[in-house]
A and B are shown apart, each in its own frame.
Chain A
């Protein structure tokens, strides 16, 4: 079993289609929707975790690309600017997934991209604007 976290961007003409259903039903993928939003211009964005066999993930991705859905790895859009971080730990108490993590001995903050679910709770919390999400 393999796991992928991706950001799916749906063009306006596709937001009424049950694409997640097809990913589950026909490509045998476990889909965990981490975030979903439709902007005022009706562009849909879905942050999902997909779990399945490598072959299933490959066919699922091909299906999405074929439809014109833009697929981006999640981690690409999230930046933790280590130089801006002062390791205060203000973000630690609100990060729900443990992506922002602190070594309790050294009291140094680290960012584990793989765990980030792009919930954006940390963005207004960091006084040094050290975390940036670009989407």
Chain B
């Protein structure tokens, strides 16, 4: 029997909804079978907690007296540059921004101990943050300099808005070269010394709804410890990649753009991160509820780590030079075991995404729904899926000719 989101919400309100996590549903369906489980379960909760570089927050800090206009000037939060090319007092701080005076990789590998991700973490945790604006004066916005402490509680709006999060599957990174390399996939030891991966596998939101049959624009989610929404597909959304017979993409595929009220969120679930030799970023916690509308949707949520495959990619050459080619395919059960075989060599594995925290998120969301404090939303528009023809394009460079430059 098919259910509707409306019916499920009625059950949630009455405290009668059956909610399980994407781990628990595997066991349940194993015991009771897919059909019976689909009848019994209303919602499956998912979770992920990993570094997501395409993240940031915007806020409005209120007009100063006299007025100042950030647009056209420069703005810094704890010395990290923020984007102010909007109106007067709106700023956007990106997760990978770093202070101008950071030595970056001039002494290689750089440490990148502080950046936009850390600013967001500090703002969310309620700490005061330094704001410095330098701009030009106008008749209506006469001030050209502002230096002040700000605090999230005094901001008019503070919104986490991440253009690309929650990658549906990801590469397994290795290093075939003879020297250590420092990447956004972590520190990779030479000659296949280790392998890193970054997905919650069987708990990961988009892997539990591989064709985006329930997750769409407007889906209400757990975001950074608060409530957020899927606002669009994420950038680089690539739903048409190769999929296994089970429908699960075998390489990075779908993504989502998400947003939510930063004031409700928590620094437990938004953490600044420093990738040696690469840069700073933000580790984001996301949990998405999947309404079990029918058997097919339930079946997708029962995919196990061993059913989800990822490609092993060389980050010393293939990735930076954009050379296609996988060194092999492994599943998440193998990755989570602690070692995999690559080119006949045993490589120890480490994850960048926290499975333990993903599990915690799925359980928090389960509790919210169980208590009736979190209702499911009906997507207002679907995400482009496997049959959409949407692909992720590389840049076709068209070199600038001298004559066309001004």
Contacts and interface: CB of A to CB of B under 8 A. Distances in A.
Contacts of B113: 129
B72 to A, nearest CB: 35
Given A86-B283, A108-B356, A127-B274, A93 B51 contact: no
A95 to B, nearest CB: 9
A124 interface: yes
A94 interface: yes
Contacts of B351: 88-90
Given A92-B348, A93-B348, A125-B276, A87 B338 contact: no
Contact of B354 (A87, A91, A93, A104): A87
B350 A92 contact: yes
A129 B112 CA distance: 11
Nearest to B186: A90
Nearest to A109: B356
Interface in A84-108: 86-94, 102, 104, 106-108
Interface residues of B, number: 37
Contacts of A104: 336-338
Given A93-B195, A127-B275, A129-B113, A86 B354 contact: yes
Nearest to A86: B354
A128 interface: yes
B357 interface: yes
Interface in A62-83: none
A86 B50 CA distance: 9
Contacts of A107: 336, 354-356, 359
Contacts of B49: 86
Interface in B3-60: 49-51
A128 B273 contact: yes
Interface in A36-67: none
B271 A94 contact: no
B98 to A, nearest CB: 14
Contacts of B50: 88
Which of B349, B350, B357 has its CB near the most chain A CB atoms (within 10 A)?
Answer: B350
Q: A-B pairs with the 9 shortest C-beta distances? A: A93-B350, A93-B194, A127-B273, A124-B276, A107-B355, A93-B348, A87-B356, A88-B354, A107-B356
Given A90-B352, A128-B271, 4 more contacts: A89-B355, A92-B350, A104-B336, A124-B277
